[in-house]
A and B are shown apart, each in its own frame.
Chain A
Amino acid sequence: MTGDLAETVARLSATSRRAYQNPYEAIAWPEALDRRQWFTLPRFVSLYGTPTWEAMTEDEQKVLSFWEAVNFYSLNIHGEKALMAGLAARLYRPGMEAVARYLHHFLDEENKHSVWFGTFCTRYGGKVYPDRKVAFPQEHAEGEEDFLFFAKVSIFEEIVDRYNLAMARDERLVPVARQINANHHAEEVRHLVFGRRIVEELWRQGVERWPDEVVDGIRAHLAAYVTATWREYYNPDVYRDAGLAEPWAVARDAWAHESTQAHRDEITRFALRPLAAAGMVVP
């Protein structure tokens, strides 16, 4: 481990201890919520800018923004489940001892985030949207699996944080949605710093010994991961719950629309900046 990563682990661990919070007291949960309010900022709703969006009344758009929030929080729950499993598997594993003290905080904080997301989804939406991902077994070069794990965590969290940051500050959003986004952002900032450092470290260790086909495979896999991550933001279940007909066609058309493509490109460029700077992905 480089001195830079060691210093990061020590600093982030100290901050996590100082900022330690009870997840059951961090959010003020209303007894019930009128869905005709903004739960997701309009420009972050997956249909924003499409003909379907333009044809909706403002109340319909607000109800859609509610189900979009349920989807966004569901995606986070599924991402955090995989993340927690991966972090737990790496705790005190040979080669990971030096970061173990921070992995404890990372795990703890991700679990708290899932409490917030799960509470919102089940209390106000009556459900967590199901995860459609299925993992296939795959052979990896030495160090490749750890690198891919942390690189994908980093990409997922960088995208999510763009949403959190915008929605933590905008007073159009109902307070509970603002609080969830603000609290998540406050802790994710540390995870993002850790993610960038450990990804740099694992890349530095691996790229010196991985053959070209492994490096090319990693770049292709991360590019496919970005696409797969975004696809989940266009969920037919959401459109069905918001009362839209032909939900699969709505999802397909929204994905292909130039305004949603521009939205994804803008956020992806930002999210991939740390990895692109190190040559891990081709921007």
Chain B
Amino acid sequence: MTPPEVRDALRSWIRAHNPEVPEDEPADDTPIIDRRYLTSLQVADLLLFVEELRQAPLDPSGLRPGTFRTIDAIHDAFFPS
């Protein structure tokens, strides 16, 4: 997948799990934790989605809230170019 496709897939996941997210959000730099578009209880589920996109398991040890602060941050953490 290309970087824009990955970002769109992440955006779609967040929208699917949070029906109250406004139609034009989240942008790549929207603070999704601050806006409560992503909660801590959803992270494990999101990580499984990320693993499936990568088709490889990831090491969740050492993950910090900052890893999930924006779609850009998630992309950069798990899909390095």
Is the CB of A232 closer than 8 A to any CB of chain B? yes
Residue-wise interface mask of B (59-75) relative to A, using a CB-CB cutoff of 8 A (1 in contact, 0 not): 11101110110000000
Within 8 A of A (CB), among B36-81: 39-45, 47-48, 51-52, 57, 59-61, 63-65, 67-68
What range describes how many residues of A lie at the interface? Answer: 20 to 34
A249 contacts across to B, CB distance below 8 A: 52
B42 contacts across to A, CB distance below 8 A: 224, 228
B51 contacts across to A, CB distance below 8 A: 236, 248
Is the CB of A3 closer than 8 A to any CB of chain B? no
Is the CB of B27 closer than 8 A to any CB of chain A? no
In contact, A224 and B39 (Cβ under 8 angstroms): yes
Residue-wise interface mask of A (122-156) relative to B, using a CB-CB cutoff of 8 A (1 in contact, 0 not): 00000000111111111000000000000000000
In contact, A236 and B65 (Cβ under 8 angstroms): no
Is the CB of A225 closer than 8 A to any CB of chain B? yes
Q: How far is the CA of A237 from the CA of B52 in the complex (A)?
A: 12
Cβ-neighbour of A237 out of B43, B57, B67 (below 8 A): B57
Minimum CB–CB distance from A221 to chain B (whole Å) comes to 7
Residue-wise interface mask of B (13-47) relative to A, using a CB-CB cutoff of 8 A (1 in contact, 0 not): 00000000000000000000100000111111101
Chain B residues in the interface with A (C-beta under 8 A): 33, 39-45, 47-48, 51-52, 57, 59-61, 63-65, 67-68
Q: How many pairs of residues, A versus B, come closer than 8 Å at their CB atoms?
A: 56
- What is the interface of chain A mostly: helix, strand, loop, or mixed? helix
Residue-wise interface mask of A (218-248) relative to B, using a CB-CB cutoff of 8 A (1 in contact, 0 not): 0001001101100110001100100000001
Q: How far is the CA of A118 from the CA of B73 in the complex (A)?
A: 34
In contact, A137 and B59 (Cβ under 8 angstroms): no
Q: How far is the CA of A2 from the CA of B51 in the complex (A)?
A: 48
A168 contacts across to B, CB distance below 8 A: none
In contact, B65 and A228 (Cβ under 8 angstroms): no
Is the CB of A121 closer than 8 A to any CB of chain B? no
A131 contacts across to B, CB distance below 8 A: 60
B47 contacts across to A, CB distance below 8 A: 132
Q: How far is the CA of A137 from the CA of B66 in the complex (A)?
A: 11
B64 contacts across to A, CB distance below 8 A: 134
